[in-house]
Amino acid sequence: MGLDKHEPLVSVVTPVYNGEKYLEACVKSVLSQSYGNFEYIIVNNCSTDNTLEVAQRCALLDRRISVHSNEQFFSVIENWNNALGYISPESRYCKQVHADDLLFPECLSRMVAVAERDAAVVMVGSYRIAGTRTECGGLAYPQEIFDGNEICRRVLLEDNFRVFGSPSTILIRADAIRDADGFYRVNSVLAADHESGFQYLKDKKWGYVHQILSLTRVHPEQVSSFVRKFRVWELDYLMLLKRYGPVYLSGEELAKRMKEVESHYYFNSARAIFFSDEKKRYLNYHQETMQRFGAQFSYSKLFLVVLKSLLNNLLNPVGLLKRVVSKVKSLLVKA
């Protein structure tokens, strides 16, 4: 579709580091949008492969593409903020898309349509495909606009309610980016995109498209591989609950939820430490992240959770045997 000046301008932004293998497909997915009025900004973060050459070659395909190359290397979150600094002052919305992700053709048009229905909508999300899974659901059809406070409450209170997804799944009202001193919080949690929801949805609204609009690739080089190996999401979730629970939850709700989440976190940490071949690195990362929130990794809580689990298993040997048999069967199937 060609340029349509009647549509609000959208700034599409791709911050990229060593994305040579994936960038061209990402660019093609952006250029295939049914929406016409967008600019596409690619920011190369001192890549050591041919990322810059691929980006420059892609820029020859469409005049809406501009390529910028950092003179200094930025950390992941710093580069997200740096890339957002290039958006046009005329843009009404911003759509970040990672170089290894893809947008489906109706992504911009569907998201902008929802955002345009209410000026209080600061973010719009949708379903996404991550590898082979469909994620970011949990909102009842056909409602498309939700109270931001309620969305944040559900994220904090429900284990599997993860509508924030990733930067590639969210459309942001550009004024929220311009009004912020760095849209994403640096030196906080790795899930800075999730934290932005808690930061900017207070007393605002969340838009949602009941359609799959993006695809997140799953591969060994991506940040999410580190997230899975070091159980970063569980740590981030605990720290976000500590920081934003007092904002969105009652004192009673927060106390109950903290107990649940801490128990789950320390139990899985014990398993991760026991089976990990990088125990020291695992503990260092978790301890350093907690320190940034004024918290401490508690070995006593770790011990108590493990002890409780062992006692439960001793008191319920049949249940333990069933779990062992189930685990052995799953391993045999994989083999």
Domains in the chain: boundaries: 10-222, 230-334
Q: How far apart are CA 193 and CA 199, in angstroms?
A: 10
Q: How confident is the model at residue 315 (pLDDT cuts 50, 70, 90)?
A: low
What pLDDT, on the 0 to 100 scale, is given for residue 211?
97
Q: Is the pLDDT of residue 200 over 70?
A: yes
Flag whether pLDDT at 167 surpasses 70. yes
Tell me the chain's radius of gyration from C-alpha atoms: 22
Q: Residue 175 has what pLDDT?
A: 96
Tell me yes or no: is domain 10-222 CATH 3.40.190.10.
Answer: no
The rounded mean pLDDT for the chain is 88
Of 332 and 272, which is predicted with more confidence?
Answer: 272
Decide: 174 and 204 in contact? Cβ < 8 Å: no
Rounded CA gap, 304 and 261, in Å?
14
Peptide bond into 105 cis (omega under 30): no
Quick one: which of 171, 176, 182, 84 has its CA closest to 136? 171
Q: Over range 99-105, report the average pLDDT.
A: 96
Mean pLDDT value of segment 189-215: 94
CB atoms within 10 A of CB 314: 9
Torsion sign across C-alpha atoms 90, 93, 98, 102: negative
Burial class (CB in 10 A: 0-12, 13-18, 19+), 216: buried
Question: Residue 2: pLDDT band by 50, 70, 90 thresholds?
Answer: very low
Predicted pLDDT at 316: 62
Specify the higher pLDDT residue, 326 or 153: 153
**Whether pLDDT at 236 is above 60:** yes
Three-state SS letters, the chain: CCCCCCCCCEEEEEEECCCCCCHHHHHHHHHCCCCCCEEEEEEECCCCCCHHHHHHHHHCCCCCEEEEECCCCCCHHHHHHHHHCCCCCCCCEEEECCCCEEECCCHHHHHHHHHCCCCCEEEEEEEEEECCEEECCCCCCCCCEEEHHHHHHHHHHCCCCCCCCCHHHCEEEHHHHHHCCCCCCCCCCCCHHHHHHHHHCCCCEEEEEEEEEEEECCCCCCHHHHHHHCCHHHHHHHHHHHHHHHHHCCHHHHHHHHHHHHHHHHHHHHHHHHHCCCHHHHHHHHHHHHHHCCCCCCHHHHHHHHHHHHHHHHHCHHHHHHHHHHHHHHHHHHC
pTM: 0.85
